[in-house]
Each structure stands twice: as C-alpha cells, then as structure tokens.
Structure 1
Amino acid sequence: MAKFGLVGKNISYSFSKTFFTIKFDLEKLNHTYVNFDIKNINQLQNILKDNTEIKGLNVTIPYKEDVIPYLDRIDKEAKKIGAVNTIKILNDGRLAGYNTDHYGFAKALTSFPLFKEKTALVLGSGGASKAIIYVLKAMNFDFKVVSRTPKEGQLSYKALTPEVINKYKLIINTTPLGTHPNVTECPNIPYNLITPSHFLYDLIYNPTETEFLKRGFAKGATVSNGMKMLEYQAKKSWKIWNL
C-alpha cells in the first residue's frame, strides 16, 4: 500500500482526490490519496516525516513556486517553467520535482479546432501561469500576461482596451478567482468586448462553469473549463510516480 496526496492551501474544492480514489478503486490498487491543506509550505517536511509511506505528491496553488527550494532535484522542463506541481519521492528519500501542468494544458488545447489567430492573454502571473506561458511559447503564440501588479512587458487589467481585446482571441484564466466556494468572483476584464471569435479557457474546474466562462458564453465565445487539463496532468503524474 502506498499513499499519494495533494499539497495546497484551501483545497477542499479539488477533484484530484476523487480522481485518484476512483482510479485506485477501478484498478483494485490498495493505495490512498490524501489532501494536505497547509498554511505554509515549510509544513511539507512534517508531512513527509509523518507519512513515510508517501510515494508521490501533487502541488497546487499557492505553492507551485514556493516548493522548489525544498526539492533535491528538478526536471529540466519544470526548471524552465519555474514551477512544480508533481513531486516523486525517490527510493533514497530525496524529492524530485516535475511539472505536468504544461502537458495537461497542451493536450487539452489541441483537442479544440486550430486557432485562426494564435494570440492569447494569460490572466495571472503566479505559478499556474508559468506552465501556460511555456506551452504558448512552444506553440508560437503571440501572447501577453495580465497582472494586478504587472512587471515589464506585462499588462495591467486597466490596459485591456478594445484594441487589446480585439487582438488577443484566446483568454486564459490562471488565477483562482471564481473557484468554489467563491463562485461569484471573476477576473476584471471588459466582458462587453468579448465576441464569438474569442475562446475563454479557465484552469478552474470547480465549479464546472465559472463566472468567467458564463460571461464569455453569454457573448457567444467558445468556453472551456480545466477538467480535461486536470485529467491529463494527473495521468502524467501517475506515470512519473511509477517510473
């Protein structure tokens, strides 16, 4: 019997535990998957000390960047991205970090029709956005990051003019705004400028239809939540844990 789990903060909304519990049941695997809801990433060491049977962990908001100093080695793609969402506990106890978010997002995105215009806005500049940026670069998208505290080359939400919204057709929410139970929240973009030529993608999957997606759908845009991305990245994590 082995134990796996999710490390994050305020993660009662997560479907990862449900996904893996069902998987273990269907495949008759005597494993467990546990949510480790912690207030600070330095509690990771206590988790591992108290749960010696842990073989792998997923990492979610807000610790995808903060967890890196606690790892003994990092996969080259995770290093390029600058964020980790999967940890494998090696046989000698060392911690290896990986990023499967970029794989999940790329696979989910390619299931949609080809984009006529490869332009995108990435809402948010945290750890979740880094994997999205990695994929957009690889797919040769012209994109901009939108942040409440923009760095050089990024946009503020106030800078989302009609010209900007008209140019960038794929809009990806990587922020936690709208996650259960705060379902009335959404990124502060000018939804009145959204058109049927836009595609709104939300990394959030609980609720299945966020306020961000509802407002996009009301304007005729193509919309998608992050459930497929979750499934793809989870399956990739499982492969890594079993290498």
Structure 2
Amino acid sequence: MGKRWFGVMGDPVMHSVSPAMMNAAFTAQNLDAVYLAFHVPAESLTEAVNGLRALGAAGVNVTIPHKQAVLEVTDSTSKEAELAGAANTLWFLEDGSIHAHNTDIEGWWGSVSPVLPMHWERAAVLGAGGASRAVLTALSLYKPDCKVDIVVRDVGKAEAIARQFADRLTIDIHDWQARGEVISACDLAVNTTSLGMWPHEDGSPVQDADCFKTGQVVQDLVYAPLETHFLRLARSGGATPVDGLGMLVGQGAASFRLWTGLAAPQAVMRQAAEQALAQRRANA
C-alpha cells in the first residue's frame, strides 16, 4: 500500500494548524501518510469532495464554511453528525462511499469535561454558529439535564437551533445585551464566536470581569491566541479558564482514530499545534 493522504478543506484554510498537528501524529505513529490543506470555495464543494474521492484520499476534515453543506454530498452520516446537522470529518471507504462524522462533539466535551465540577446545572453558549451546534450536541449527549442559555445578536438564528434541540435540552435564548447577566448565572460559559481571535486580540464578548466567579468554568473556542482577553478576564474574576486548542486537538485525535484505528498521540499533536501558532505569530 502506498502513502495514504488526508487533508482539511475550507475557505479560508491556509491559516490552519491542522496539517502541522496531524502530520506530527502520523510521524509519531510511524505511518506512511500525509495531511494537506485544500482551499475550497463554497461553490466548488461538491466537485472537490468527488475529486478527492476519485484521487484516492483516505479522509478529510471539513471546516468553515462547509460543515453543514457537506452533508448533502456524503453517502452515510453518523448519529453525532445527524444530531449536530453538521460534519467535520469525512471518511472515504473502500467501497467508494463517503461517511460523514462530527468529531468536534467528542473533541469539545473532552476538552472541558475534566475541569467541570461534579454537580453543575447551567451553561451559557455565546453565539449560534457551527461551533455552538457542536457544543449543544455534546451537551445533549453527555449532560442532557443541564439548562442552556444561548446568547446571540441574531435571535432568529438561535431560535432555529433551539428548535433543533428542543426535545433534548432545555434552552433559553437571550439578546446579546444580556450576556454579562447570563454568564454570571452559569456554571459553564463557552464563547463560540470569533471575538478576540488574532489579529484582533483586544476583542472579547465582555469587557470586564464582573460576570465571572470562583467555581465557574469559562472556555473560549478561539485558540489564536491561546489565552484570549476573554480568558484573562475570566481568570481575574476567579473562574477556571479553558483554551480552545484542547478542542482542536481532541477533534483531530478522534479523526485520527477513525481513519487509522490507532490511538492518537495527543501530547505530540498539541505541541505541534502550539509550535505552528508560535511560528505564525513570529512571521506576522
């Protein structure tokens, strides 16, 4: 068998640290494989997926803006991808079919669950995009008894997502102006927006630490920079901060396991991702 090849497709995608992370994993496990980045505009998604299948790709990750649309060009869908209404991982099977899965769900839960208190009841989710779908799906699978507060600028978008999970979670929707009040009432707060992402590192969903408290877990899914302004505020308010790189590594590890049948070297993957992020900053 020749070299197996994998990749990530998105628009934009060339900023991704996934190639560095996944190629480090392949090297650590002595696999003859390579992972590449593919820039795929939305209008070319179907052609790109079929082209990768024809060219013999073993699997690809899918990122913004294709996670929902890609379900329309696959042959089978996992329970997780179906619940989320989105997929981030495609597996090209030997019979020519394409299986869609969502490892963001497992990756997110694995990144935050180890630091959550044993008894917690309420989560605030800031934003209503693809990442929030992964968070809500994970909560519906692993913590269905919790109460979820979605805080958004576009209430209509949040209402559509809430309807999707209405039979699995108790969800309230709040206007963006109420974010501080909502966060202060929650045990877990997750920023799924891009506020604070490099190079706009001064950005944050909130501008002071008054809404944070001791015993609270606060996560930012932005991972560039690793410690966002949002997380610095959370730390100063006494909360436990969790960066977004753990989710990236966790979803990559789950994809690696799906594609290879091997356990992923997560410590190696995180180190490679951190080095790639540092190199990006040095070159900026």
Deviations 1:194-226 (A, max 9, x none): 223432111222221122212222222210112
Does residue 144 (structure 1) correspond to residue 146 (structure 2)? The answer is no
What residue number does 2:108 align with? 105
What residue number does 1:160 align with? 179
Partners of 1:32 and 1:180 lie apart in 2 by 27
What residue number does 2:13 align with? 11
Residue number among 120, 123, 131 corresponding to 2:123 in the alignment: 120
Residue number among 224, 228, 231 corresponding to 2:246 in the alignment: 228
**Counterpart of 1:110 in structure 2: which amino acid?**
S
**Cα 1:191–1:160, aligned 2, differ >3 Å: closer, same or farther?**
same
Partners of 2:208 and 2:174 lie apart in 1 by 14
2:80 and 2:105 in contact (8 A); partners too:
no
Partner SS, residue 55 of structure 2: coil
Does residue 20 (structure 1) correspond to residue 18 (structure 2)? The answer is no
Residue number among 64, 67, 70 corresponding to 1:64 in the alignment: 67
What residue number does 1:93 align with? 96
Partners of 2:245 and 2:113 lie apart in 1 by 14
2:115 and 2:217 in contact (8 A); partners too:
no
Unaligned runs of 5+ in 2: 160-171, 262-284
**Cα 1:46–1:134, aligned 2, differ >3 Å: closer, same or farther?**
closer
What residue number does 2:218 align with? 200
What residue number does 2:235 align with? 217
Q: Which deviates more from structure 2 when the two are superposed, residues 175-184 or residues 86-95?
A: 175-184
Q: Which deviates more from structure 2 when the two are superposed, residues 184-193 or residues 68-77?
A: 184-193
State how 1:24-63 maps to structure 2 within 5 Å.
24-40=26-42, 42-46=44-48, 48-49=50-51, 52-63=55-66
Does residue 134 (structure 1) correspond to residue 153 (structure 2)? The answer is no
Deviations 1:163-193 (A, max 9, x none): x333212110112222333333222576432
What residue number does 2:77 align with? 74
Partner SS, residue 154 of structure 1: strand
Partners of 2:236 and 2:200 lie apart in 1 by 20
1:41 and 1:67 in contact (8 A); partners too:
no
Partners of 1:205 and 1:177 lie apart in 2 by 11
Partners of 1:161 and 1:52 lie apart in 2 by 50
How many residues are aligned here? 242
**Counterpart of 2:78 in structure 1: which amino acid?**
D
* Identical residues among aligned pairs (%): 30
Partners of 1:202 and 1:161 lie apart in 2 by 15
Deviations 1:53-85 (A, max 9, x none): 311011122221122112122112210121111
Q: Please provide the CA RMSD for this pair.
A: 2.2
2:209 and 2:236 in contact (8 A); partners too:
no
**Counterpart of 1:35 in structure 2: which amino acid?**
A
1:178 and 1:212 in contact (8 A); partners too:
yes
Partner SS, residue 54 of structure 1: coil
